[in-house]
């Protein structure tokens, strides 16, 4: 079992983000893990009819099927290693496990029209 599976299993079982689980996320993913935890705590993981979006400080990042197409994923991470994930994808995993995804019953394209 990989480090990523350990914290995910513990989070799923606990149903809450305990200090030990938060430490495991940060231990496995460093600053990316910390950013993911912060995003979830701030309610920045949004689910629309078509996409899950993580709101960053300057952009919104679409995460589909656990994949994100941000520059970090594209340039810095090994796509063949499941433990190397950007903070946006990690935030979605954490938010889903905690039932902390902010659901909006609309298409993301409708939201983009307002931005």
Domains of the chain by residue range: 3-114
How much is the average pLDDT of 68-74? 92
For residue 11, give every residue at least 6 positions away whose Cβ sits within 8 Å of its Cβ, in sequence order, or none.
17, 21, 94, 97, 98
Q: What does pTM read for this prediction? A: 0.89
Confidence of residue 47 (pLDDT cuts 50, 70, 90): very high
pLDDT band at 82 (very low <50, low <70, confident <90, very high): confident
Residues 84-99 pLDDT 10s? 899 999 999 999 999 9
Task: Provide the β-strand partners of residue 67.
Answer: 64
% of the chain at pLDDT higher than 90: 73
Q: How many angstroms separate the Cα of 106 from the Cα of each of 24, 49, 53? A: 35, 6, 13
């Amino acid at each position: 079992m990989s480090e990523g599976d350990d914290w995910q299993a513990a989070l799923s079982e606990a149903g809450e983000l305990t200090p030990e689980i938060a430490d495991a996320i940060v231990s496995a993913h460093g600053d990316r893990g910390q950013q993911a935890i912060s995003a979830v705590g701030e309610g920045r993981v949004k689910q629309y009819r078509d996409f899950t979006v993580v709101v960053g400080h300057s952009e919104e990042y679409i995460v589909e099927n656990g994949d994100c197409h941000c520059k970090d994923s594209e340039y810095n991470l090994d796509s063949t290693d499941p433990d190397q994930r950007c903070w946006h994808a990690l935030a979605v995993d954490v938010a889903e496990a905690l039932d902390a995804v902010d659901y909006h019953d609309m298409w993301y394209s409708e939201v983009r029209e307002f931005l």
